[in-house]
Amino acid sequence: MKFEEPATLNPIDRSRIVGKPVDRIDGPLKVSGAAPYAYERHDVAPGAAYGWMVGSAIAKGTISAMDTQEAEAAPGVLAVVTHANAGKLGKGQMNTARLLGGPEIQHYDQALALVVAETFEQARAAAKLIRIDYALADGKFDLEAQKTSAAPPKKVQGSPTDTAVGDFEGAFKGAEVKIDQTYTTPDQSHAMLEPHATTAAWSGDKVTIWTSNQMVGWGVKELAKTLNIAPENVQVVSPYIGGGFGSKLFLRADALLAALGARAAKRPVKVALARPQIPNNTTHRPATIQRLRIGATQDGLIQAIGHEVWAGDLPGGDVESAAMQTRLLYAGKNRMTKHRLAVLDLPEGNAMRAPGEAVGLLALEVAMDELAEACRIDPVELRIKNDVQFDPEVGPDRPFSSRKLVECLRKGAAQFGWAKRNPKPGQVRDGQWLVGMGVAAAFRNNLTMSSGARISIDRQGRITVSTDMTDIGTGSYTIIAQTAAEMMGVGIEQVTVNLGDSSFPTSAGSGGQWGANSSTAGVFAACQTLRGQLAQRAGFNAEDALFEGGMIKAAGRAVPLSEAAGRDGLTVEDKIEFGDLAKRYAQATFGAHFAEVGVDIYTGETRVRRMSGAFAAGRILNPKTARSQVIGAMTMGVGAALMEELVVDTRFGYFVNHDMAEYHVPVHADIPEQEVLFIDELDNKSSPMKAKGVGELGICGAGAAIANAIYNATGIRLREYPLTLDKMIGKLASV
Amino acid sequence: MNAIPVKLKVNGKDVRLTLDSRTSLLDALREHLHLTGSKKGCDHGQCGACTVIVEGRRINSCLTLAVMHDGDEVTTIEGLGSAEKLHPMQQAFVVQDGFQCGYCTPGQICSAVAVLDEIKAGIPSHVTADLNQVSFSDAEVRERMSGNICRCAAYPNIIAAIRDVADGGKA
Amino acid sequence: MKAFTYERAKSPAQAAAAAASNPASKFIAGGTNLLDLMKLQIETPTHLIDVNHLGLDEVATTKDGGLRIGALVRNTDLAAHKLVRRDYAVLSRALLSGASGQLRNKATTAGNLLQRTRCPYFYDTTKPCNKRKPGAGCAALSGYNRNLAILGTSADCIATHPSDMAVAMRLLDATVETVSPDGSTRAIPMADFHRLPGNTPHIDTNLAAGEFITSVVLPKPLGGTHFYRKVRDRASYAFAVVSVAAVFDASGGGRFAFGGLAHKPWRIETADAAASQGPTAVAEAALAGAKTTPQNAYKVDLTRRTLASTFAQKGAAA
């Protein structure tokens, strides 16, 4: 099905099941520990041997000597895989660094070997017996130092690196009120709870990997390319994924090494990265330096807005697209955005939940707060004042498909009790706490991806949906079941959903908050095809047929689905393909974050007291799972604002705090009640589901609301994330 | 390898294993008994995904050796309930959406069950204002659950699930 | 983790003798730090002596009105013990601020004292660390040291001791009781138990080879108002950036001990003596000789301010 014109009324609009807060259908399996994750496939790969990865101890250079003999002779060892014996390997199109390094080394903890042994304990111990001598090369590890050498990358997420409209410099110079500030965000780690893990088994020249991967279709192509085998010989299975946040978008070392290890050991092999290896071996969100310049009239109308971004990556890598939202979020005739990419020899930078916006808004939305203060305008009102209903770089010819930012701000403010905020900073005390409130807009682009599904109906009228879509905690199982149930007019208990297997039709996968909307649209397409065929079998005109209560109804006649399905049932496949509606209309999701924080007057510790937000993201397919996505992302925003930082040791070129004791993410005690309000909205230009993504919107702006609340609490403006107490302490009033 | 016989009572069943002395209780459960509900998130006591109840107390099963538990009773998530017959805490997690990816979930649930017992037993926490007055509150549960990290951050929903079970228990 | 043989000790003295006869052995109790380090081969014992079944899990009153805490009393039990709650609240508070519920259920009194530093370079075997490998150099001195020590440091090491419990015990003038391989016993004051790094940062304590901790003795209760204020980067389940243990008496006197500042729990008698002059005077005395790096210099001000916070709390409680 091609989606080329705005959706009209369709069966999803009945909203009998879609749009309802249905419990997760995979819930009972997950809460009972019965859902099998990648390293737990005793059922399909019994007797798997254990692989342990050996990472590089240096950031850049070459292996001058490698001795694996002692490891090979160690108890239980079945194989040691290195660049020397792995055969000729390719590199995945989406990998910047090679997944098995050597002799050249591109980053710290790049995989250099895999030790395979009968037991986990033997593999781990033998790995320590591999001796590697290195020839160290000079590397570049300091973004600030490399800033001047940073160059424009070719593209930023398929868009131009730089944009310019009007005369930014002139308008900024002449503006009545000017904000010119630089903000920095550190490298961050996804820190999903399930480590990257894969079980691999070969059968002849075909390999199957049971893995933890957000993008099954990409995984097939990339593993085939890396192993130099045909994609038909690769099966990727990923039904349960213990968190991804972008870290499992791509083929990673666990998958390649498990496949190589299984080939070498001639039996199934499983590999999980050890937690301390993950931050440096895998990808991370790159650090940024961002300069924001906003020029406005005294009453807060933006005249000029400029956002420049510097970030680094390995040679051949990409820039963090942190200025993208500034192209779309606020009005202003004179505009400028720039991205500059420095070469750094740190581990590979790549997507983490809402790449671009998540850190871009940490800068832009604080700059807006600074502008509000300079103009003496309420920060909510400032944002409303600068709302724009079309792409401000293009003009009214490219309107937003739907944009309810103003409604989010107003309703969010009411829900939160924004009116009680004292606009003068440093005024509110509660015991030892200075208390403040902050607001920030949420913005995340809406992306759509082609997505396929197979749908079957059996003689009992039971529906089975199969697609290689993944559920990384997003609720895919449930919303796909809801979609099929709605379309086919059956109860959700009549629907079985099979996900995450490359033998199923290729889907959108989970990333960039495109998964829910795109994959359910693919299921919608397949259901439409099935409905047509069933209606025909029942002797109805498909357009007139109503699917309801397990029956197909038209012209005063009702035929049970089971009867129409016939003895052998019926299976169809279809996919959704998106036309140019995303070009004709700017498509994005919007929201408003509100936070109340307390800052300890003695120690500078910041604790979040309340968080609240209002969000507009098209049809909310399941308000229960969508709310969970949003609060989870808000919490990741708390982490970004207050504690998360991969610390770079610029001497050795690695992230020093590479485990979960030293890389802090929020714990239960950090998170208060969180309120989420979804604004009623249908976006008929986004998909036939009229939904948009929501999984990343919640992080976008959340941290800025906290930063602004800290300022309101203390009068201290910190611009280097995370906003830790050591940065606060010297600026607090004496006690 | 130093192979050592170990006898455990896991979820009510006696099991006998011969294990490498290095085998953690977590790996004994996951790799030898195929009880994969207990998760390995960090293997260093930094995340709580491996939480199980041993001799009535929740512990990180990754930071203890199986051989140290010879003769001990172990309850894992599989021992609390099954998908067909959920424990009230498991049911509450489903209803309140107290999880997303599901990987930290068994540990959260084992911890949650034990936390309610700890509060009942009057064991104080960091946020207990008067060390001699221990009672249920959201703040108490948040503090006590802080050794179970949920990166999907279902935190408020987890607290709601625990609150539901605690209220049910009182009624 | 290197392969090791395993035995269950039969008595404290036998455990000590077994340890003395095998220098590559280690005692294991809770295991929450030792196994963590063994997995990374930072600790590489080839023999483990499991001391979990030796009893030593009682808290009993001593004849001079104090408490004897068995070495194997779990952190949870010690914090919840009714006499500790009543008479040594600073110790309860310190314990409860540490680690997580799961870890406190396993971690023991003796093991808590014997925790090793959390310096990230100590934890990464690819980086130089004098504590892990004497003579290798210290990567922290000019590296990432925001969380590291400002007092009692040396040119070889700026690691901190991570324990909260030990800070409270130092304040309480606890003594550590041990049995040696020859069966002799001794009592080591907390002040002398942990060492400063000097040029032997690989040696954390003054225990002799094989010497086995049997108990920790607290003197009779101090009375007064007890506080343990732990400053950290998230609300729970994090090591201290700085911590202050404080006990104030009714006449304006007080005692103070500090965590997160040094290779051992930090206590200076001159700081106690300054109690009546207020937090700034106490801080000045306690922090005399502080040597900071650009990254950890904030700890000086933070310590003073945290002290001010406890003084204010005392005022509010009075």
If you average pLDDT over residues B154-162, what whole number do you get?
Answer: 98
Residue B116: Cβ-neighbour burial (10 angstroms; 0-12, 13-18, 19+): middle
Mutate to test the interface with B, among C104, C105, C108, C112 (most CBs of B within 10 A): C105
Give C3's contacts in chain A (Cβ within 8 Å).
Answer: 75, 125
pLDDT tens across A9-49, in order? 999 999 999 999 999 999 999 999 999 999 999 999 999 99
pLDDT tens across A69-117, in order? 999 999 999 999 999 999 999 999 999 999 999 999 999 999 999 999 9
CA–CA distance, A489 with A483 (Å, rounded to integer)? 10
CA–CA distance, C127 with C42 (Å, rounded to integer)? 12
Using a cut of 0.80, tell me whether the model's pTM lies above it: yes
Work out the mean pLDDT of chain A and round it to a whole number. Answer: 98
- Token output for A567: 């003895």
CA distances from A13 to A29, A358, A587 (A): 30, 32, 20
Residue B2: closest C-alpha in chain C: C5
Mutate to test the interface with B, among C78, C100, C115 (most CBs of B within 10 A): C100
Torsion on CA atoms A373, A375, A378, A382, rounded to nearest 10: -120
Q: Quote the ipTM score.
A: 0.98
Residue B104: closest C-alpha in chain A: A193
Closest-CA distance of chain B to residue C25, Å: 14
pLDDT tens across A608-637, in order? 999 999 999 999 999 999 999 999 999 999
The answer to whether C4 faces chain B, any CB pair under 8 Å, is yes
Phi, then psi, of A209 in degrees rounded to 5: -120, 130
Among candidate residues A543, A548, A696, A720, the one labeled active-site is: A696
| Cβ neighbours around C133 below 10 Å, total | 14
Q: What is the pLDDT of residue B11?
A: 98
* Residue A244: closest CA among A276, A281, A275, A215: A215
Q: What is the pLDDT of residue C177?
A: 98
A365 is known as an active-site residue: no
| End-to-end C-alpha distance for chain B, whole angstroms | 53
Closest-CA distance of chain C to residue B19, Å: 12
- Token output for A674: 């969180």
Largest CA distance in chain C: 57
CA–CA distance, C120 with A647 (Å, rounded to integer)? 11
Q: What is the pLDDT of residue A542?
A: 86
If you average pLDDT over residues B94-99, what whole number do you get?
Answer: 98
Residue B130: closest C-alpha in chain C: C85
Tell me: pLDDT of B171 over 60: no
Give C92's contacts in chain B (Cβ within 8 Å).
Answer: 124, 131
* Residue A112: closest CA among A141, A143, A136, A81: A81
Confidence of residue A504 (pLDDT cuts 50, 70, 90): very high
pLDDT tens across C252-265, in order? 899 999 999 999 99
CA–CA distance, B4 with B70 (Å, rounded to integer)? 10
Q: What is the pLDDT of residue C317?
A: 74
pLDDT tens across A151-204, in order? 999 999 999 999 999 999 999 999 999 999 999 999 999 999 999 999 999 999
If you average pLDDT over residues A501-517, what whole number do you get?
Answer: 97
pLDDT tens across C138-178, in order? 999 999 999 999 999 999 999 999 999 999 999 999 999 99
Strand pairing report for B13-20 and A177-185: unpaired
pLDDT tens across A374-433, in order? 999 999 999 999 999 999 999 999 999 999 999 999 999 999 999 999 999 999 999 999
The answer to whether B45 faces chain C, any CB pair under 8 Å, is yes
The number of angstroms, rounded, from the C-alpha of B21 to the middle of its chain's C-alpha atoms is: 23
CA distances from C14 to A26, C27, C186 (A): 53, 12, 16
Tell me which residue in C118, C305, C309 faces A661 most closely, judged by beta carbons. Answer: C118
CA–CA distance, B37 with B86 (Å, rounded to integer)? 14
Q: What is the pLDDT of residue C318?
A: 64
Chain C residues 39-58 with CB within 8 Å of chain B: 39, 48, 50, 52
Contact flag A32-B141 (C-beta cutoff 8 Å) = no
Work out the mean pLDDT of chain C and round it to a whole number. Answer: 97
Give the residue carrying structure tokens 């871009």.
A360
